[in-house]
């Protein structure tokens, strides 16, 4: 897993609508909570996504952006987003290229670790957590990030 203080690797992935989205484009709007999760529609991943969804007022007032990354297709992400009314971007990493870049492959190279990064507008990893099965840890991480966000472009 990438260390705090490291530069977040640039990437471009398709979103739930098949549009290409880059890290650079996401960071233009302010600090980013980038979270990796194993799969759409699983109990744990659904709970995590809904917890982040329910933090939307705090996230928006802090000027944070949110994007989730998993290896499912854009079509799966679109169905997941629509079913649970997720107000953030879901990115499709079918080849697991970004998952490898961020060091969040699962044990023995299988699956994806549940990991969350807070990335500053300059592309620096300000904070990170990998708690795998402890889903509540990620919601607390996002809540804390919203309480103390790194500088957004408007606040510089």
pLDDT at residue 139, rounded to an integer: 87
Give the confidence band of 136 by pLDDT, cuts at 50, 70, 90: confident
pLDDT at residue 100, rounded to an integer: 96
Looking at residues 120-145, what average pLDDT do you find?
Answer: 90
Give the pTM: 0.92
Alpha-carbon gap, residue 55 to 79, rounded angstroms: 21
Sequence spans of domains, the chain: 12-155
Q: What's phi and psi for 10, nearest 5 deg?
A: -70, 145
Block residue for tokens 């979103």: 15
Give the confidence band of 107 by pLDDT, cuts at 50, 70, 90: confident
- 63 touches 149 (CB < 8 A): yes
| pLDDT tens digit sequence for 14-57 | 999 999 999 999 999 999 999 999 999 999 999 999 999 999 99
Instruction: Give the containing element (helix H, strand E) for 22.
Output: strand 20-22
pLDDT at residue 90, rounded to an integer: 98
CATH class belonging to 12-155:
alpha beta
Give the confidence band of 154 by pLDDT, cuts at 50, 70, 90: very low
Q: H helices within 1-150, ranges in order?
A: 23-27, 43-54, 56-61, 74-84, 97-101, 135-147
Q: Which residues are catalytic?
A: 45
Q: What secondary structure letter does DSSP report for 18? A: S
High-pLDDT (> 90) share of the chain, % = 83
High-pLDDT (> 70) share of the chain, % = 96
């Amino acid at each position: 897993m990438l260390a705090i203080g490291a530069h977040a690797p640039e990437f471009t992935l398709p979103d739930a609508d098949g549009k290409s989205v880059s890290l650079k484009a996401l960071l233009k709007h302010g600090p980013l909570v980038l979270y990796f999760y194993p799969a759409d529609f699983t109990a744990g991943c659904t709970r995590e996504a809904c917890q982040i969804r329910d933090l939307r007022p705090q996230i928006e007032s802090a000027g944070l952006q949110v994007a989730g990354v998993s290896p499912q297709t854009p079509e799966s992400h679109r169905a997941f987003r629509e079913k649970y009314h997720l107000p953030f971007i879901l990115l499709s990493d079918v080849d697991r290229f970004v998952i490898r870049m961020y060091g969040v492959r699962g044990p023995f190279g299988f699956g994806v670790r549940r990991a969350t990064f807070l990335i500053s507008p300059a592309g620096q990893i300000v904070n990170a957590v990998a708690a795998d099965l402890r889903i509540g840890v990620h919601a607390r991480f996002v809540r804390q990030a919203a309480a103390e966000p790194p500088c957004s472009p408007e606040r510089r």
